[in-house]
Amino acid sequence: MKTKKISSNVKSSKKKTHPFWSFFWLTFLVVSLWYAWYSFYAPSNEIEWVTLSNQESLINNSNKYAIVFFTAEWCSPCRIMKREVFADQKVEETINSKYRAIMIDIDNPETKDIVNQYKAYATPTTILLDPEGKVVRHIVGKIEKDEFLQMLLNI
């Protein structure tokens, strides 16, 4: 009985890839990684945020208006606002000079009463309070930088 000898010149089953596809997949990987980083990146800013867990702290003894920003860790529009709106120098200066900035995490069990009181069930929610604690503006959703700055300057 003869067994067939496998020829040594049989081509490898792995085909050589075209350089276009190597470049395509490398570019795709780089762009995907950049987008993932950019989506979750929120730069620090110079706004003096106060984090609260009880309602009494919302009403302050100063004559400043308060900006209450309801956010969540998973909220993409919140990260966009932190990156594009709150990181702006004019916005930072205006908030620090004229307002008390309060950031509330809606997922924190300690803040559920505040979330329910102001009906901040969607994020981002931005509320402007006068010095007595009355709601002046209640905005649900992402606000563009120019619109946000106009709102701050017109109070």
**pLDDT tens figures, 53-112:** 555 566 666 788 999 999 998 998 998 899 899 989 999 999 999 999 999 999 999 889
**Token pair in block for residue 29:** 């990987």
- What confidence tier does 50 reach under pLDDT thresholds 50, 70, 90? confident
| Architecture per CATH, 49-153 | 3-Layer(aba) Sandwich (3.40)
**Token pair in block for residue 8:** 């040594």
**Beta partners for residue 69, in sequence order:** 103, 126
- Which sequence spans correspond to the domains of the chain? 49-153
**pLDDT tens figures, 120-144:** 999 999 999 998 889 999 999 999 9
pTM summary value = 0.71
- Which of 5 and 109 is assigned the larger pLDDT? 109
Q: Give the Cα-Cα-Cα angle 131, 57, 59 (nearest 5 degrees).
A: 15
Whole-angstrom Cα distance, residue 4 to residue 2? 6
